[in-house]
Copies of this chain bind each other. A is one copy, B any other.
């Protein structure tokens, strides 16, 4: 297979291209009995949608999912959930430049190198429009996690040189995040980010940034000790998203500067029972397994590669040329990235919850010796 499936137990498989008839998404392994309707998917799909504000691309994609199976009489029924998205905003256009020339920062050249040729229409299979499937599957995962008291939220902490630090990630609310089009919950920083993106857009340029995500309520014990560490699967999930170039959890790259006596989070009794830690440098994961503390992670997103200006490049014959990428593009990917990152976080957590159920949930009838 060529990597179009994500997850072991809650498994998402996708097909589709940005300028074909649409996208197919199949979710395998969802427990039966979860109340689910198209309406449950729409809010995150709407957050992912292009055209939400002048900060994002002005393309209009309806992104209306249609269930083909797996949901019956308003509940998941345990069989594979099939979802169809029809593409609606495929402008008839000539693809002249992109057919023969390689866009800098894009997958055009590597696709040609790998497959010999490529569907060049809108990036084909490499288009980020593919994340519509991830966000839909993530919405189902979020709803499952909610039954376990797990809440997921992402927000923007950096755009270019505008940075903010959220001191208590667990206190951020969805309302705060959604209150500005840039999805930064700190209003002052948000305003600066918006100004910066606007300036960048006017420069016909783009800008990168950082998204932080947090999962609250994950009980201790999710994650596998060796290769499928929770941190490892989260890193893969995040880096599988387009434009993500870096991942860290807890203290992240700052650990390089730290001493053990400073980095070690000390265990203390939890008021009301149980165990907690005085600090959370470990980002909620120890030995690859959730500790019960909030899971906190950050990813870097590169500036959009498509720029509304001419850039030097080469053509398929290897000759120097210039390319002007037409179409509407986000000057900054961060605002629309938030629901994508949340979706991948949710998919990994639900997968490890199902693994925990399989192996570690208590077994009736287990003898004690």
Contact = CB atoms under 8 A, between A and B. Distances in A.
A126 B292 CA distance: 18
Interface in A1-58: 1-11, 13-17, 20-24, 26, 28-35
Contacts of A118: 72, 77
A35 B367 contact: yes
Interface size class of A (residues with CB under 8 A): 35 or more
Contacts of A110: 220-221, 223, 285-287, 289-291
6 contacts: A107-B289, A147-B366, A160-B258, A235-B247, A245-B248, A354-B359
A5 B6 CA distance: 12
B28 A115 contact: no
Interface string A242-269: 1011111111111111111111111111
Contact of A33 (B105, B116, B148, B200): B116
A326 to B, nearest CB: 16
- Stoichiometry, copies per complex: 4
A8 B14 contact: no
A217 to B, nearest CB: 11
Contacts of A307: 260-261, 264
A260 B105 contact: yes
Contacts of A107: 225, 286-289
Interface string A111-129: 1011111110000111000
Contacts of A226: 3-4, 14, 80, 125, 130, 240
